[in-house]
Chains A and B, each alone.
Chain A
Amino acid sequence: MNRLLWPRSLSGALIGLQVLAPKPQTGSETNTQQRKLQVRVRRLHSVCLSHTQMDAQPYFPVQAGVGMEENFLSLDDILLSHERLPVRIECTFPRLGFLERSSDTQDIVEGTKMELPLWLSKGLYEKKRRVLSVELPKVYREGWRTVFNADPNVVDLHKRGPYYYSLGSQMLHFESPENPDIAQTLLQTFIGRFRRTMDSSQNAYNEDTSALVERLDSLEKGLFKSGQSGLNGFQSWEKGQAGQLTASSLVLNYRKRKMADGPH
């Protein structure tokens, strides 16, 4: 249990720090410290994360594991592991009632239906001993699968996901007779949507792409981005902009940070 719990919670905690640390206000000592912490957390990411685009970024984020795998240091996978799944508790959990806010009982009794994050469900799930059973989220059930098989392009995967493919693949860890169909639908959905992802990422030059990506799954968004970087790289080369030297974004950000730190 412990082995399973810590890394995710640590990673969660780190993200929490970054998100939660309040915006610095001028003058206060504590805020300076908080900001330092913020910077440090950010730097932690830059130390241990790795990359997609070798030349373009000061640090390289670890890509999502995709499929049944998860990458420990991938931000997307950490967020994915916090997705909540509907589960049914199959044996009583003594003194864990506080996890279930809707009731005041001390224990979580057998038969309780509740939502647990993916990482916890995966940790508690065992094939032999039935501790809990996981229900399929709606979007992977047969009704939705029919929709995906008919025309995957109509679905807003961001709204339904945004980790449609990753979570779907993770669902395969839990035994179910529907698993082959789920895997098949995931693959077909990706293939069916590929052309659109490709065309939009390879054609949108110098325009606002937010409308193009808003219906994409988080992985498709990653693909969209790499398509864009290929296109933009070529276009700026063609126009002769590649020859101009620009300051690295690391340096620019550093200056901004320094300026923000200035008054202290």
Chain B
Amino acid sequence: MDPAEVEFLSEKEIVKIIPNFSLDKIYLIGGDLGPFNPGLPVEVPVWLALNLKQRQKCRIVPPEWMDVEKLEEIRELERKEGTFAPVPSPYYMELTKLLLNHASDNIPKADEIRTLVKDIWDTRIAKLRLSADSFINQQEAHAKLDNLTLMEINTIRSFFLDSLNFMYKLRSNMQPASSKGKAMDY
């Protein structure tokens, strides 16, 4: 899957905005939005929030977790734990990028947040590689990977699944006289 498609999925997440215009309720196919009143917070999907922000029609309220203190806690937990710690949002990476790139003036300490999220990401990816290696080493057939996000899986998906399939085939070599050898004769 293309990372842009993962980002596309993350744009469905809901954020709070404070509009500076008024508009009645909108009946979208995917659900109703609004009504919009100047100064009154309202929840919209990220794709709309970003669009309105770009047209200077609103201020985005950053999600609660997008906060230096909270992220520092998460980073420490992530470094301490051997397994994947819970993430603040299944799209934490994508949302950080989207909101910081398009609405950094609405987010206090944007640069620090960017660094923290990157730290968390790096720690998690290192863990992911470590567990991929031990998965292969111990020739496991399944693993539980709670709290892993789509974007994280996505960076390793094709490599990891190809490797597993490959290993599985090498392993099935060891059961001789399998029916597989028969199909060869074109």
Contacts and interface: CB of A to CB of B under 8 A. Distances in A.
Complex A–B touching at CB under 8 A: yes
Interface of A: 3-4, 7-8, 52-53, 55, 66-70, 72, 122, 165, 169, 172-173, 179-180, 183-184, 186-187, 190-191, 194-195, 197-199, 201-202, 219, 222-223, 226-227, 229-231, 233-234, 236-238, 240, 242-243
Chain A interface, >50% SS class: helix
B4 interface: yes
- Which bucket holds chain B's interface residue count? 35 or more
Interface string B159-186: 1001101110111111010101101111
B133 A198 contact: yes
A251 B90 CA distance: 37
A67 B181 CA distance: 9
Give the most central of A52, A69, A240: most B CB within 10 Å.
A69
A234 B3 contact: yes
A67 B169 contact: yes
B184 A69 contact: yes
Contact of A187 (B158, B173, B186): B173
Contact of A198 (B2, B7, B159): B159
A187 B3 contact: no
A179 B185 contact: no
Contacts of A7: 186
A3 B129 CA distance: 46
Interface string B134-148: 001101000000000
B159 A68 contact: no
A236 B174 CA distance: 41
A242 B3 contact: yes
Contact of A223 (B101, B166, B170, B174): B166
Interface stretch (B12-20, B41-49, B61-69, B149-157): B149-157
Given A68-B180, A169-B173, A226 B159 contact: yes
Contact of A202 (B2, B156, B166, B178): B156
Chain B interface, >50% SS class: helix
A3 B158 contact: no
A71 B137 CA distance: 27
Contacts of A223: 159, 162-163, 166
Given A190-B170, A223-B163, A69 B176 contact: no
A72 B155 contact: no
B174 A180 contact: yes
Given A187-B171, A187-B173, A237-B7, A70 B158 contact: no
A238 B152 CA distance: 13
Given A4-B185, A183-B176, A234-B154, 5 more contacts: A172-B176, A186-B170, A195-B133, A198-B129, A236-B3
B97 interface: yes
B156 A233 contact: no
Contacts of A201: 159
A183 B173 contact: yes
Contacts of B172: 67
B52 interface: no
B107 interface: no
Given A190-B167, A230-B155, A231-B155, A237 B4 contact: yes
Interface string B103-134: 00000000000000000000000000100110
Contacts of A233: 2-3, 154-155
A172 B158 contact: no
B39 to A, nearest CB: 32
Given A53-B158, A180-B174, A187-B173, A198 B181 contact: no
Give the most central of B4, B137, B139: most A CB within 10 Å.
B4
Contact of B139 (A3, A191, A198): A191
Which 4 A-B pairs have CB atoms at the shortest separation, nearest pair first?
Answer: A237-B3, A67-B169, A227-B159, A226-B158
